[in-house]
Structure 1
Amino acid sequence: MSATETDAPAEVLTIDEAAAILRISRNAAYAAAREWRATGGKTGLPCIEIGRTLRVPRADFERLLGRPA
């Protein structure tokens, strides 16, 4: 791997990483992710399911924060 590949921000975040950025608890972040899935993406924390794990796509997360993707 080159230095630029390791220095680039991850394309996906774990629920714990997203919770830390949002300064909310891990349980609150998982509840928001469940809300996202239950509402078809209308409200909550954007997430995708990969196997049995949930990940937060960085582009969707940035939009949630009102930042340009």
Structure 2
Amino acid sequence: MAIYRILQNSPLGPEEITRLSTAYEQALRTIGVQDRNDPLTELIARKIIEIGQTGLKDPVKICVRAIEELRLSKG
């Protein structure tokens, strides 16, 4: 999956990787992406990481912000 590949060589600690991975998985579920090879997964992963670097810690808030910023919300 995109986020794991991107984070594989990152200097982030396990706690931060877990937080970002949780936000990523939640975002994919929220917008209904089932195909993990969909190019959209990489776009979402990069946005999740970008938001995580702003200091936001809550995976749910990271997920919501990523979806809003990418304008991917349903409805």
TM range (shorter): 0.3 to 0.5
Instruction: Choose between structure 1 and 2: higher helix proportion.
Output: 2
Instruction: Choose between structure 1 and 2: higher strand proportion.
Output: 1
Q: Which has the larger radius of gyration?
A: 1
TM-score, normalising length from structure 1? 0.35
- Which protein, 1 or 2, shows the higher relative CO under an 8 Å CA cutoff with sep ≥ 6? 2
